[in-house]
Structure 1
Amino acid sequence: MNRTTVLGVCLVQERRTSARGVPYALGWVVFRGMDRYTRLPIVGHGVLADRLEAVNGRPVVLAGHLRERSEKDGSSRLQVVVEELFPVEAPIFEAPLGHPVIDGYARAEVSGLLALDPKPLRGATGLRVAVRLPQGAGYGGTSFVNAVVLGDPPPGVKKGRRVYLAGALRPRQSDPERLTLYASEVWAAPGKAQEEEEEVAYG
């Protein structure tokens, strides 16, 4: 399970072609949710690149999967690989940077192995989850999702255990493009993770 649903305005930044000759479009879905302005990075491959350009500057609902994208400066950020896209009608206003934006949201559901021991935070707990990416279209492999759960995690949420998380994607106060999953639902699967999954997450 690795699923994200977003309501916001689609902004296409640029279009490129991969080394395999597949076109893709890079951009954001922008929205204001929970009194915080958010620019969620997105990418659409193939025909979805055309669809993203067709709705550039318009409100949309899109769905896809999360992956962690490495930046040139050594940092990383979450990005949504678009799988479905639908234009919608919604009231538009002007964002701080001058482009159109709407009141929206981003919700994610992920399942994977807890890659590190839970990290105590002030009034919360930080989790880093290794999730499998969908096979096909050049994906596959493993990515990571950083999550925060208020208070202590439920029993059984520990390194190496398969966990399920669901909640809102929210940006850090310092950067509207660096998002964290604030999980309102967290639970651990019973039993031990399969050896194959452990090799993917830690190998």
Structure 2
Amino acid sequence: MNRLSSLLASAFILLVPLSSARAAMPEAAAALFEAKTVAARDSALSTLETAAPKDPASAYAAGAGEFFTALEILASGLHRHGFESPQSFMLPLMRLPVPDNPNPEPLTYEQFRAILAAFRDRLEKSAATLGSVPSDADIGMVIDLTHVGIDLNEDGTIAPDESMAAIMASLSRGGSAPDDAAPALTVSGCRAMPSS
């Protein structure tokens, strides 16, 4: 596994803590992590963001969803403009398995900057949402990363080859397009830790 896929796996584990009590996953979180369309995913994420200030489990799920959608913002922006993933390790996030776009739009400097700024802003939102969760929160979620995904080709659906497991498998192969058979991958990681 290369450095980027290791970082992504670590981020997923940190985003999705597991308590020994295994608290119930909020219904909207299950909907978020099982969504097959962008509209369904965004609706569940909106519900979680609304509940987040009062419910630590919703905040964790919303923060995870915001992290995934940050990756989607970057990937879809690159897809729109016909980006081809480089094989260089110098630009790890640019190695997302963005599918070919037969009709790319021209890309200006300002547009590229806007894509990167939107990606950064969404990551900051994710960090703030996750940072709002009390350090002693007892949250438990088990998430199958073959079901959680992002829309890489801007068609409004989240296909099996766009799952986090398929994306991580693609990154470990050097950024080539994901195949249909993503390896089984479930996250059931750590408990919320006190900040230092």
TM-score of the aligned structures, taking structure 1 as reference length: 0.23
Give the structure with higher Rg (CA): 1
Give the structure with the higher percent strand: 1
TM-score of the aligned structures, taking structure 2 as reference length: 0.23
With a CA cutoff of 8 Å and minimum separation of 6, indicate the structure with the bigger relative contact order: 2
